[in-house]
């Protein structure tokens, strides 16, 4: 079966949504979001989710698939998004993975689903209680007894990762390190042609990010956060830890001013963009499109087509109708 997909990634505010729609319309594609926060319902403004007019131009998947109160995991994303991609391919169309969450993209493309999908909440609670009773150092020492490589990478205060590594071992009989090695040895689930968007001048990217945050304010970010909290959503939930929501929640609760929250969101978004670029730079064979001061989507379409043809995507890299 054909397993070709197109990936459009890049830091926040780099034009991924626009180019994704352009290529979807050109190559009979459907967009599969690869954003860890766009999966949540009623979180639209702060996640820069595709609006109604954008969704009308191309079919979108993996938007609004979970409640903000849920702890949506990368394992669940791989399962759900994988079904979307397989269905799109089975219908003779092209999945176009669009987003900035590198972990989600890499996990889906590689087909990482060995130990990630195995969870036991009773065991999780038992390990959490054990951690509180014995302490992090004792738990880390226990982890080192069967997975010294993973233990060496963690500190005794990293409760979540220590517990998860022990949980994987008790559920599967192999260590987290062995699991990761097994994952790397397996052929990837999809043949992914990766396109990364960026700005040649980092200052231009940061300027665009700052403007986007100001636009989010005008579109009602604080009102959106206020409604989420009023609905009973805990400020400690995973969804509310997202950049934009955590800071806005502080303002809604009166702990800081809106102006201070906006400045914090801008700063944290710039820092996140830097981390995203660090992640994407590890991708071998990716096609980078670096904008000047203003994105040129016509040139990006041509450049993307040349790249896809060069990758052997002759069956999809041609105009439709």
Class of domain 4-111+188-310: alpha beta
pLDDT of residue 270: 97
In contact, 118 and 168? CB cutoff 8 Å: yes
CATH number of 121-185: 1.10.20.140
pLDDT of residue 16: 97
Residue 261 to residue 226: CA distance in whole angstroms: 14
pTM across the whole model: 0.82
pLDDT of residue 121: 76
pLDDT of residue 113: 55
In contact, 315 and 34? CB cutoff 8 Å: no
- CA separation (Å) from 87 to 69, 94, 131, 279, 318? 28, 10, 42, 28, 21
pLDDT of residue 186: 74
Q: In 3D, which of 176, 174, 164, 177 has the Cα closest to residue 121? A: 164
pLDDT of residue 182: 74
pLDDT of residue 319: 46
pLDDT of residue 178: 87
* Domain residue ranges of the chain, discontinuous segments joined by +: 4-111+188-310, 121-185
In contact, 23 and 301? CB cutoff 8 Å: yes
- Give the pLDDT of the chain (321 residues) as one tens digit per residue: 589 999 999 999 999 999 999 999 988 899 999 999 999 999 999 999 999 999 999 999 999 999 999 988 888 999 999 999 999 999 999 999 999 999 999 999 998 754 445 566 788 889 999 999 999 999 999 999 999 999 999 998 999 899 989 988 888 888 888 877 877 777 889 999 999 999 999 999 999 999 999 999 999 999 999 999 999 999 999 899 999 999 999 999 999 999 999 999 999 999 999 999 999 999 999 999 999 988 999 999 999 999 999 988 876 645 444
- CA separation (Å) from 169 to 102, 130, 138, 163? 26, 16, 17, 10
Residue 119 structure tokens: 């969870």
């Amino acid at each position: 079966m054909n397993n070709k997909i197109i990936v459009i990634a890049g830091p926040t505010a780099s034009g991924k949504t626009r180019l994704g729609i352009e290529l979807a319309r050109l190559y009979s594609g459907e967009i599969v979001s690869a954003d860890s926060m766009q999966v949540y319902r009623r979180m639209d403004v702060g996640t820069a989710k595709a609006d109604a007019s954008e969704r009308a131009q191309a079919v979108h998947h993996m938007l609004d698939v979970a409640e903000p109160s849920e702890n949506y995991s990368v394992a669940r994303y791989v399962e759900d998004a994988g079904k979307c991609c397989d269905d799109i391919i089975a219908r003779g169309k092209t999945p176009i993975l669009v987003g900035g969450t590198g972990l989600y993209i890499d996990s889906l493309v590689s087909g990482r689903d060995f130990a990630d999908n195995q969870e036991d909440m009773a065991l999780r609670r038992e390990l959490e209680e054990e951690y509180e009773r014995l302490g992090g150092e004792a738990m880390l020492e226990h982890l080192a007894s069967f997975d010294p490589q993973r233990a060496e990478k963690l500190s005794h205060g990293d409760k979540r990762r220590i517990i998860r590594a022990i949980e994987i071992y008790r559920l599967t009989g192999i260590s987290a390190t062995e699991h990761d090695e097994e994952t790397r040895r397996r052929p990837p689930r999809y043949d992914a042609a990766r396109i990364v968007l960026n700005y040649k001048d980092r200052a231009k990217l940061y300027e665009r990010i700052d403007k986007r945050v100001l636009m989010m304010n005008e579109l009602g970010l604080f009102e959106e956060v206020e409604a989420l909290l009023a609905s009973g959503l805990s400020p400690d939930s995973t969804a509310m830890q997202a950049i934009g929501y955590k800071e806005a929640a502080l303002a809604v609760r009166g702990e800081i001013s809106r102006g201070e929250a906006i400045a914090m969101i801008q700063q944290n978004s710039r820092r996140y963009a830097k981390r995203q670029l660090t992640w994407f730079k590890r991708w071998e064979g990716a096609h980078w499109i670096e904008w000047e001061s203003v994105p040129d989507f016509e040139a990006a379409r041509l450049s993307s087509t040349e790249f896809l043809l060069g990758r052997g995507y002759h069956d999809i890299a041609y105009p439709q109708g």
